[in-house]
Structure 1
Amino acid sequence: MAAQPQRQSQPSGLLVIDKPQGVTSHDLVAAVRAGLHTKKVGHAGTLDPMATGALVVGFGNATRLLNYIVDHDKTYEATIRLGRRTTTDDADGELIDGPVADDAISGSADGDKVAPSILDGITCDMIERTIADRLTGPIEQVPNTFSAIKINGQRAYDLARDGKDVELKARPVTIHTFDVLDMRTGFTDAVRTNGPLVTTREPSSDPLTAATATDMVPVIDLDVRVSCSAGTYIRALGRDLGAMLGCGGYLTRLRRTRVGRFAVTDTNVVTAHVESRTFTNRAGETVTRNRAVLDATGDELLAHAMTMVASVRAAMPTVEITAEDAVNLRFGRRIPYDIHEPTAAYVPARTADVDSGDADRDAIDPNAGDVAAIIDRAKRGEAKPLVVFAADPAQ
């Protein structure tokens, strides 16, 4: 039985938000709920609090598109710090002392070995060959225990924070490109995961460092760009590259620049910033919490949103249908279209100054129309509705 049409009581669409550092993806969803005064909001793919960049947020009927967008390929830019490890594989974790995993393989596939001083002898050529040989194409990846993956209904990071053993299985992912953009060698203070890279062993003049650091340690910072399949953890790539080189590694910076066809450079991207609030809780403890604040709200925020037609065109395959087809879909009937994957069916809108009988495709507004349903193949030459949307009264 086809899904029942959903009421069109609120506007629907997608927003691309440039997430700031220091807040969660859920914080951005809460900000959109407040900014649009609507409860039906979700996002397509979590970004860690440390990460910045493209977060696709859907509201209204467009939330039904998010499951399809989650599966899109993604592009990231990151900085990997080689020479140390953390519990979370990024700068938000705690430093781990000692050797890398017992099964780590030193050097690249052609036999280069890492010198006893760990980083001595590691060259950009060695790193690039290791990436090409072992971290490009289809690979098996074990996510970090501090991840959003659910184990028996609980998030892995919640279990890990409670001190419970978390064992995640390797998952197949595909790394389309993994490019080294820059390599910098130097030193950083021994106590901070995000300390600055300097060229001398002398302690940093940074007062935060000078108050606690007693030594400087050698590290290598790599700026990289990765295009990958859905489900890839860039933190795990940094960790695994460090393990393969025998020196350890973690991320100090992560920015998602693209989710499928949605890019952080798009003209309609919504920016946001972080505001901190300090208060005393019931236990008498002083607590500081961050919250995400959108730089646009209300009608201004809606002006940045993609319409439902523009949203489906960016999210998945589409097919233009007739008004009669739309009625049939909304009654759960099949329509005579030969498709091979989930597809959005919509009735295109024409510009007002064109006669309704004019077949000139240039008269069709690519961002307007009536999205009737998401359909899938029923049999050859027939499509059935999977998700049905109520008619848009504005069309």
Structure 2
Amino acid sequence: MGRRKKGRDISGWLVVDKPAGLTSTAVVNKVRWAFDANKAGHAGTLDPEATGVLAVALGEATKTVPFVTDAMKAYEFTVRLGQATNTDDAEGEVIAESDIRPSDDEIKQALGGFLGEIMQVPPKFSAVKIDGQRAYKLAREGEEVEIAARPLWVEELVLVDRPDPDHVTLEMTCGKGGYVRAIARDLGEVLGCHGHVTQLRRIWSGPFDVEEAVTLAQVEELARQPELDELLLPLEVGLADLPQVICTDQGAARLRNGNPGMVIASDVDYGEECWASYEGQAVAVGRFKAGELHPSRVFRL
């Protein structure tokens, strides 16, 4: 018989405005402790010095993490022009410098080359795995690492501020797996002046917006108190990008046992992934086929 996980069976999403200086995992651990939850995870890592939306899933909501991770995200970030660093951010060592400072028009023109489907090489100091090891670990050990380029969809990349000749603030909306540090590095190369990120903030991620986020200080202040539970968003919010179908009474019972169940659907294609609800509560995620949902994930609520 397996060991029972410690903590409460509590499910939902908490949108945290992550502070600088903490890893995403450290934030998740603090949230899990504060709720005394038996399970927790997050939808999309932020670098330790980055701030903004870190969506933390508790309990059964962890089953919806992939749908938020795959969703579009938006970032506001500042690029330091004239310097390249080995980490592509301000934490690293300066490895190249330039006196060139492009104009606003030159920057705007260069940004157009980063729109749509692009190929991006992640930073050497990143969590990408190379032969089973993290790239940042190999980089710290002084090894030269070759990281393959990977596709990234960039929906929007615009200049929002130019506080001084050395800095430019940009806003980007992109798909899964994008590295803002790589955008800053590559933009600097295109402009012939080098560049690295000095400030990074995720302003929204899928259905979650920084405007609805709570601070870690609030979480710690309300830890282990009933008021903290009131800050949780329903599990169903994490399914916002999937179409919804409605279970019949018998369909709900069958789906909860992991079997295909009858659902009522509109505007859902055969084989399309969707989620089923019963009396407003999520029951399962699966594929719609001939009036039934074939479940891939079942929620135990």
TM-score after normalising by structure 1: 0.69
For residue 305 of structure 1, the aligned residue among 213, 232, 236 is 232
Q: Does 1:344 align with 2:270?
A: no
Q: Does 1:155 align with 2:134?
A: yes
Structure 1 residue 157 displacement after superposition? 1.3
Measure the CA separation in 2 of the matches of 1:80 and 1:97: 15
Measure the CA separation in 2 of the matches of 1:171 and 1:73: 17
For residue 244 of structure 1, the aligned residue among 161, 182, 190 is 190
> Compared with structure 1, are the counterparts of its residues 150 and 253 closer, same or farther at alpha carbon in structure 2 (3 Å cutoff)?
same
1:60 alignment partner in structure 2: 59
Q: Does 1:374 align with 2:285?
A: yes
Q: Does 1:88 align with 2:67?
A: no
Measure the CA separation in 2 of the matches of 1:18 and 1:137: 28
Q: What one-letter code is carried by the residue in structure 1 that aligns with 2:148?
A: K
Measure the CA separation in 1 of the matches of 2:132 and 2:238: 31
> Compared with structure 1, are the counterparts of its residues 155 and 294 closer, same or farther at alpha carbon in structure 2 (3 Å cutoff)?
farther
1:216 alignment partner in structure 2: none
For residue 124 of structure 1, the aligned residue among 93, 96, 104 is 104
Instruction: Provide the secondary structure at the position in 2 that maps to 1:32.
Output: helix
Instruction: Provide the secondary structure at the position in 1 that maps to 2:275.
Output: strand
Structure 1, residues 126-169: CA drift from partner, whole Å, max 9, x if none? 1101111x111111111101112222332221221222222111
Rg: which structure is higher? 1
Which moves more between the two structures, 67-76 or 148-157? 148-157
Instruction: Provide the secondary structure at the position in 1 that maps to 2:64.
Output: helix
Q: What one-letter code is carried by the residue in structure 1 that aligns with 2:223?
A: T
Greater share of helix: 2
Measure the CA separation in 1 of the matches of 2:237 and 2:249: 18
Q: What one-letter code is carried by the residue in structure 2 that aligns with 1:42?
A: G
1:272 alignment partner in structure 2: 216
Structure 1 residue 293 displacement after superposition? 6.8
Counterpart mapping for 1:177-216 below 5 A: 177-186=156-165
Structure 1 residue 98 displacement after superposition? 5.6
Q: Is the 8 A contact 2:34 2:219 kept in 1?
A: no
Measure the CA separation in 1 of the matches of 2:298 and 2:251: 12
For residue 175 of structure 1, the aligned residue among 148, 154, 158 is 154
Q: What one-letter code is carried by the residue in structure 1 that aligns with 2:168?
A: L
Q: Does 1:385 align with 2:263?
A: no
1:72 alignment partner in structure 2: 71
2:121 alignment partner in structure 1: 142
Counterpart mapping for 1:312-327 below 5 A: 312=239, 314=240, 316-327=242-253
Instruction: Provide the secondary structure at the position in 1 that maps to 2:211.
Output: coil
RMSD after superposition:
2.1
Structure 1 residue 71 displacement after superposition? 0.5
Structure 1 residue 374 displacement after superposition? 1.1
Structure 1, residues 269-311: CA drift from partner, whole Å, max 9, x if none? 22125xxxxxxxxxxxxxxxxxx97443232221111122344
Measure the CA separation in 2 of the matches of 1:332 and 1:57: 26
Structure 1, residues 92-140: CA drift from partner, whole Å, max 9, x if none? 11111367xxxxxxxxxxxxxxxxx422xx21101101111x1111111
**How many residues were matched structurally?**
289
Which of structure 1's runs of 4+ aligned residues deviate more than 6 A?
none
Q: Is the 8 A contact 1:309 1:346 kept in 2?
A: no
Measure the CA separation in 2 of the matches of 1:239 and 1:296: 40
1:14 alignment partner in structure 2: 13
Counting aligned pairs with the same residue, the percent is: 40
Measure the CA separation in 2 of the matches of 1:372 and 1:323: 12
Uncovered stretches (5+) of structure 1, i.e. residues with no partner: 1-7, 100-116, 187-219, 274-291, 349-368
Q: What one-letter code is carried by the residue in structure 1 that aligns with 2:179?
A: Y
Q: Is the 8 A contact 2:97 2:194 kept in 1?
A: no
Q: What one-letter code is carried by the residue in structure 1 that aligns with 2:283?
A: A
Measure the CA separation in 1 of the matches of 2:219 and 2:227: 14
Q: Is the 8 A contact 2:31 2:219 kept in 1?
A: no
Q: Is the 8 A contact 2:77 2:197 kept in 1?
A: yes
Q: What one-letter code is carried by the residue in structure 1 that aligns with 2:185?
A: R
Q: What one-letter code is carried by the residue in structure 2 that aligns with 1:373?
A: A
Q: What one-letter code is carried by the residue in structure 2 that aligns with 1:160?
A: A
Q: Is the 8 A contact 1:74 1:228 kept in 2?
A: yes
1:104 alignment partner in structure 2: none
Measure the CA separation in 1 of the matches of 2:258 and 2:153: 37
Measure the CA separation in 1 of the matches of 2:97 and 2:81: 14
Uncovered stretches (5+) of structure 2, i.e. residues with no partner: 1-6
Structure 1 residue 72 displacement after superposition? 0.5
> Compared with structure 1, are the counterparts of its residues 301 and 167 closer, same or farther at alpha carbon in structure 2 (3 Å cutoff)?
farther
Structure 1 residue 9 displacement after superposition? 6.2
Structure 1, residues 306-359: CA drift from partner, whole Å, max 9, x if none? 1223443x35332222332110112332234455432221112xxxxxxxxxxx
Measure the CA separation in 1 of the matches of 2:43 and 2:284: 20
Measure the CA separation in 2 of the matches of 1:262 and 1:98: 38
Q: Is the 8 A contact 2:153 2:175 kept in 1?
A: yes
Instruction: Provide the secondary structure at the position in 2 that maps to 1:265.
Output: helix
